[in-house]
Amino acid sequence: MTNTITTEPSTPTPAAPGRRTPINLRQYGILAALAVIIVLFQVLTDGRLLMPGNVNNLIQQNAYVLILAIGMVIVIIGGHIDLSVGSVVAMVGAVAAIATNVWGLPWWQAVIISLVVGAVVGAWQGYWVAFVGVPAFIVTLAGMLIFRGLTLVFLTGGTISGLPREFTAIGAGWVPGFLGEVGGRDVITLVLVVAVALAMVGIQLRARAQLGALGLPRESAVSFWIKNAITAFAIIALGWQLSDYQGTPIILVILGGLVIIYTFTLNRTVFGRHVYAMGGNLFAAMMSGVKTKWVNFFIFVNMGVLAALAGVVATARAGGAVASAGQNYELDAIAAVFIGGAAVQGGVGTVFGAIVGGLVMGVLNMGLSILSVDAAWQQTIKGLVLLLAVAFDIFNKRRSGH
Amino acid sequence: MNENSTILRMRDITKTFGAVRALDGVSISVTRGSVHAICGENGAGKSTLMKVLSGVYPHGSFDGTIEFEDKEVEYRSINDSERDGIVIIHQELALSPYLSIAENIFLGNENAKRGVINWHETNLEAVKLLARVGLQENPATPVLELGVGKQQLVEIAKALSKRVKLLILDEPTAALNDEDSAHLLDLLRHLRDQGITSIIISHKLKEIRKIADTVTIIRDGATIESFEMTEPDATEARIIRSMVGRPLDNLFPPREPDIGEEYFRVENWNAYHPVDTARKVVDDASFSVRAGEIVGFAGLMGAGRTELAMSIFGRSYGRNISGKVFKQGKEIQTRTVEEAIRNGIAYATEDRKKYGLNLIGDITVNVSAAALGRLARLGVIDRNREYVTADRYREQMNIKAPSVASVVGKLSGGNQQKVVLSKWMFTGPDVLILDEPTRGIDVGAKYEIYGIINQLAAAGKAVIVISSELPELLGLADRIYTISQGRISGEVTRADATQELLMHYMTADKD
């Protein structure tokens, strides 16, 4: 009885496809904000922000947050939170360093061991959340202490440095430029970005053609091509700058793969749909036959594995394991997810949004650092940005009549 | 004070949301010391009108004038209207469950000096107020220990504490059983004698007949008519006619039952309360449904109808469940919801907002929610097929929404219920258990839902309808079981069924 809009007899209008396209209006908003921030700092820093070396660092320095944000957005859509990821990053870093430097294992075995440790950590936390029913806030707060403590135990208070070069390349290396250089630019990087841009447009075109064939609503051709042109331009521009530096960071390839896999998982798989359903209404999901306990369990196992991967990346970039690694990483990841439009109550959020949210924080960090703004003020500004981003979101929703 | 003066006069109220006119020149005048009923289909604009009156939509956000006690008023918030003695009690009660009755009554209106509450006076005052609403409870009792009926009385006590002159009740009896409803109506009559005016929004026409002095009918955001219940032609039929804009000769669509062999049988079903594990909630229940048959389950609130259904459907309720379930003579297991669905059972829950729907999701994801596997290969959903499926149900079930991308939380109750039914139909069930399928939805949508239920039966499904409304069961079911205190206390065929007989079995005591 509260709503008059929908009771009117209405003809089906080819409305905005809503969740159907992977990018919705809310995310255009945050994307616009990212663009504004980039332009702002580009001007303020006299063009230094987007210099090839800085673009490269932006990716390598923020890779860990972006990886964590991908796991965290799933956790948050499912209606939970994970406070332990920073400690897991540190602990996995310690395990990886021990594996290579103490046990003398090759880099790939160290990575596998790290990911297995992450999965075990996730299974441990998932067990308490899913099968015992302890709220994730408590389980992961405990985890934050437990895994930080274990890191100290493993490292016996010291540090392990001098990791093998193959291992550090994961966080600080580049795809070998085996196609050589043209005019000082790495050719493989340029080939890669053009291929990615073309593939993206191709996939979008195919999806669009399918919608057309089924007579389903789709966005206008103009908006479709503008969107694709801008995205393709952004991808190629990124490659253009990177090719002028050392080429494609390995971590960028990993990140790209993760974004594709997880966007697909959330949008197209039964598991992803169940996560959204549980965040939207847990009881309704239960009464629809969703195995909610197992879904919760795997949300945390997945978060554990991604936290481990972030641990590998962060340790590789740092070149060694220290007990204080990963501090506040959980907060960065959570902030990225919420800036990216996820809802605190669960049920809402996207991988794309989380990545853009993470980049907003990353660009802020870098821009403020180039401007030599004091670290204390940097934190203050980041806090305000988080607050304003979410407040803006709420304001928007209220205006649209929720 | 003039007995027949007008306490409230709303004139030409027009309220728009974007391009949508929710209210289009509604006028209403309410006589002091009367009970005034407002009727209308879901979405007609009743709640919007009450929000305009109470200041939820502040002065200036709508056109038209409001006069209260012969003064033109311009409320900007609920606080403004409450100061004048207008109190609105919403359908969803707004009490804080862990606070006591007394604390709730005086919440936001505490008897305090410099921020320190005078508990002695608060409790004394609360006792007096509770006496006025006829509630015998210790004011220190936490509200969560009270049933819905008593909570409603606490809400009214709270309104009285604010020196209410005009009490607005939005669907006050929707969640109450007959006894509590009767008590509430008595109380409203009693308050009327004390000079308190009430506006009651209700779908229950019998109730309106019993209590209202005047009825105003709203349809599509406009006043259709207003009349005294003492007029000779003030009948339920007239109200319905005005509400839907067409005469509804029959509340139930015609149906030719085509009943086959026994299809579904439950034997010796038992379940215990999940917390109070010594309490038997379902006691040795046995029943059967034939193909193409609609079987009703009648019972008073708390008799164990929903508990019986939920304990069968994937053991979603209760502990130490025992008993056997047969489909076409073969025993089947229903240990988890997923297993029950796989065995062809569907259960549309009583509380669709809490247990039935993902309100922030669109129609598509809700329709597919219980049978995603049918749309997926290797765990990957075919979203185009999903969309086409949802759209097919939208047309077939006449779900009124711009497209299947519409968010379900924004639909009216009737359309939400159609989404729930679509969801369960898409699981391809043989046995459908529908728990209060028409609760809180308007006459027109009810008729449509009945039609859908008839179609399901005609398609040879075994259909179980649980309902609190006896006329609904009498109009719909081929056979009715009654439940009392967890036991099946009676079984009545359509030919023999009367409200009196059913009520007799529903109130049957355990031997």
Chains A, B: CB contacts within 8 A come to: 156
pLDDT above 90 for B45:
no
For chain A, the domains span 23-39+46-173+249-393, 175-248
Interface touch A276/B341, C-beta < 8 Å? no
Among B372, B388, B400, the residue with its CB nearest the CB of A214 is B388
Residue B279 DSSP class: S
Tell me the chain B residues in contact with residue A24 when contact means C-beta distances shorter than 8 Å. Answer: none
CB-count exposure of residue B246 (10 Å: 0-12, 13-18, 19+): exposed
- Closest by CA to A323, choosing from A149, A165, A115, is A149
A276 min Cα distance to partner chain B (Å) = 8
Return the structure tokens found at B250.
């029959």
Beta pairing class for B462-466 and B294-299? parallel
Tell me the chain B residues in contact with residue A214 when contact means C-beta distances shorter than 8 Å. Answer: 384, 387-388
Cα–Cα distance, B453 to B419 (Å, whole number): 14
Return the structure tokens found at B16.
């728009």
Beta pairing class for B380-381 and B376-377? antiparallel
Interface touch A280/B358, C-beta < 8 Å? yes
Tell me the chain B residues in contact with residue A287 when contact means C-beta distances shorter than 8 Å. Answer: 313, 316, 337, 347, 349, 355-356
**Residue with more model confidence, A71 or B60:** A71
Q: Please report, in tens digits, the pLDDT of each residue of chain A (402 residues total).
A: 333 333 333 333 333 343 344 345 555 778 888 999 999 999 999 999 999 999 999 999 999 999 999 999 999 999 999 999 999 999 999 999 999 999 999 999 999 999 999 999 999 999 999 999 999 999 999 999 999 999 999 998 789 998 999 999 998 889 888 888 888 889 999 999 999 999 999 998 998 888 787 777 777 888 889 888 988 999 999 999 999 998 999 999 999 999 999 999 999 999 999 999 999 999 999 999 999 999 999 999 999 999 999 999 999 999 999 999 999 999 999 999 999 989 888 999 999 999 999 999 999 999 999 999 998 999 899 899 889 888 887 777 776 544
pLDDT at position A289: 92
pLDDT at position B302: 73
pLDDT at position B400: 87
Give the 3-state secondary structure percentages of chain B, helix then strand then coil, rounded to 5.
35, 30, 40
pLDDT above 70 for B293:
yes
pLDDT at position B429: 95
List the 187-216 stretch of A: residues with Cβ below 8 A of B: 210-211, 214, 216
Among A6, A16, A286, the residue with its CB nearest the CB of B412 is A6
Cα–Cα distance, B273 to B397 (Å, whole number): 37
Res. B1 pLDDT band, cuts 50 70 90:
very low
* Helix, coil or strand: residue B89: strand
**Average confidence (pLDDT) over B149-167:** 90
Among A5, A9, A281, the residue with its CB nearest the CB of B410 is A5
For residue A239, what are the CA distances in angstroms to A197, B146, B324? 10, 66, 66
- Using alpha carbons only, give the angle A273, B384, A15 rounded to the nearest 5 degrees: 95
DSSP for B400-417, please give it: -SS-TTSBGGGS-HHHHH
- Closest by CA to B366, choosing from B410, B313, B319, is B410
Interface touch A286/B406, C-beta < 8 Å? no
Cα–Cα distance, A313 to A251 (Å, whole number): 8
Amino acid in the structure at residue A62: N
Interface touch B384/A211, C-beta < 8 Å? yes
Interface touch B369/A14, C-beta < 8 Å? no
Q: Terminus-to-terminus CA distance in chain B, angstroms?
A: 56
Cα–Cα distance, B249 to A296 (Å, whole number): 52
Return the structure tokens found at B141.
């009792």
Interface touch B405/A12, C-beta < 8 Å? no
pLDDT at position B246: 57
For residue B166, what are the CA distances in angstroms to A325, B62, B81? 64, 21, 10
Across B32-74, the runs of DSSP E, i.e. the strands, are: 35-39, 63-68, 71-72
pLDDT at position A13: 37
pLDDT at position A24: 52
| Minimal-distance CA residue of chain A relative to B372 | A270
Tell me the chain B residues in contact with residue A276 when contact means C-beta distances shorter than 8 Å. Answer: 358, 361, 365
Length, in residues, of chain B: 511
Among B44, B347, B358, the residue with its CB nearest the CB of A277 is B358
Q: How many CB atoms lie within 10 A of CB B137?
A: 17
Cα–Cα distance, A86 to A324 (Å, whole number): 10
Return the structure tokens found at A131.
């099968």
Place of tokens 């309100």: B359
Cα–Cα distance, B39 to B46 (Å, whole number): 8
Domains, chain B, ordered by start = 6-244 (3.40.50.300), 262-344+429-506 (3.40.50.300)
Give the 3-state secondary structure percentages of chain A, helix then strand then coil, rounded to 5.
70, 5, 25
Interface touch B41/A7, C-beta < 8 Å? yes
Beta pairing class for B431-435 and B462-466? parallel
Which of B317, B342, B380, B439 is the mutation pick for testing A, counting most A CBs within 10 A?
B380
The upper half-sphere exposure of residue A117, i.e. CA atoms within 13 Å in the direction of its Cβ, equals 28
Residue A235 DSSP class: H
List the 6-45 stretch of A: residues with Cβ below 8 A of B: 6-10, 12-20
Q: What is the 3-state secondary structure (H, E, C) of B123-166?
A: HHHHHHHHHHCCCCCCCCCEHHHCCHHHHHHHHHHHHHHCCCCE
Which segments of B268-359 does DSSP mark as H helices, in order? 305-312, 337-342
Cα–Cα distance, B477 to B291 (Å, whole number): 13
pLDDT above 90 for B256:
no
pLDDT above 90 for B410:
no
A277 min Cα distance to partner chain B (Å) = 6
Amino acid in the structure at residue A153: V
List the 121-160 stretch of A: residues with Cβ below 8 A of B: none
**Complex confidence, ipTM:** 0.82
Contact B370, A289 (CB under 8 A): yes
pLDDT at position B511: 53
Instruction: Report the topology of domain A23-39+46-173+249-393.
Output: ABC transporter involved in vitamin B12 uptake, BtuC (1.10.3470)
